[in-house]
Each structure stands twice: as structure tokens, then as C-alpha cells.
Amino acid sequence: MISVAASAAQRGVALVVALLFLLVVTIISVIAASNSTVGLKMSANLQDSYASFQSAEAGIIAVLSLAGTANDPFDGDDTPDPFAAFDPAVDHPLRGLGDGPDSVDTDVYLTTAGTACPRSAVASSVGLLDCDYYRIAAEHQVPKEARTKVELGVVKTIIGSGTP
């Protein structure tokens, strides 16, 4: 008789223990799912950031590749858009970008013209050469994804005034 009374008192305990175990497993799985979602968002944002940086850097490299050509942005003129002479669909240096050449805004500015180049006092070209200083700014922007701005300073050596 004692065993029947003891089993009658323990009938609901197994159900309560099973429900508590299921609740703990459910909470752990929900936390794991939310952590993986945050991880996916972080990696997508990082991928967008890297792609944006590479696109802005491609704008800088494209401007540098124009040096010494007919479209030389370092010819002394203050022309902010170095790609004005190019057709975006045919010969634009940035036409291979995944989001198009219009996503990168690249500007070239002459900051200082014809000043002394930074040279050693014992160098043989002191006073013979001057330098033009340029700033290249490339900005890549994809709305609601990423925005990166890269700037680079360029020094162009020119024949100077001849006074030491």
C-alpha cells in the first residue's frame, strides 16, 4: 500500500521537471539564434566596409594612373574631377567597380604650387627643383550600406626658379 500512495504523490513531478528542462533548452536555443543573427549582421557590415574602402582606394589609384597622360590631373590646373573626359560606360578607369563608377567621387586639389621641395641642404638639386603639392580625395558611398573617404597627398617635382 505504501508504494501505491508514494507513486500517487509523485505523478506530477516528472511533468514539471520535463517542462523546466524544455524551458531551459528553449532559452538557450533562442539566445544562440540571436547571437548568430548579430554575428551575420556584423560580418555583412564588415564586408561592406572593406568593399567601400577598396573602392575608394581604387579611385586614388585610378587618379595616380592618369599621371603623365593626356588627362594628367597633376598639370597645375585646379580641376577637381579628374575623370570628366571619360565616358562611364566605355573608358572610365572605375567602370569595373561592382556598384559603378558613379559611386566613387574622386577630387584632385592643388594645395601649394611651386614651393621648395623638402631636400637635404647638401643635395645637388637644392634650388633647381620646386614641388607642387596635391591632395587626392576619394569617397565611396552606397546608401544604407557603407561610406569611406580616403585622402592621399602627392608631391610633383617641377623645374624650379633656379635660385638656391
- Between strands 104-116 and 146-159, the pairing is unpaired
Higher-confidence position of 128 and 10: 128
Question: Rounded distance, CA 120 to CA 6, Å?
Answer: 100
Question: Rounded distance, CA 155 to CA 117, Å?
Answer: 9
* For residues 41-63, average pLDDT: 89
Look-up of cell digits 582606394:
57
- Number of Cβ within a 10 Å radius of residue 99: 14
Half-sphere exposure of 161 (CA within 13 A, CB side): 8
- Looking at residue 9, its pLDDT comes to 61
* For residues 13-22, average pLDDT: 90
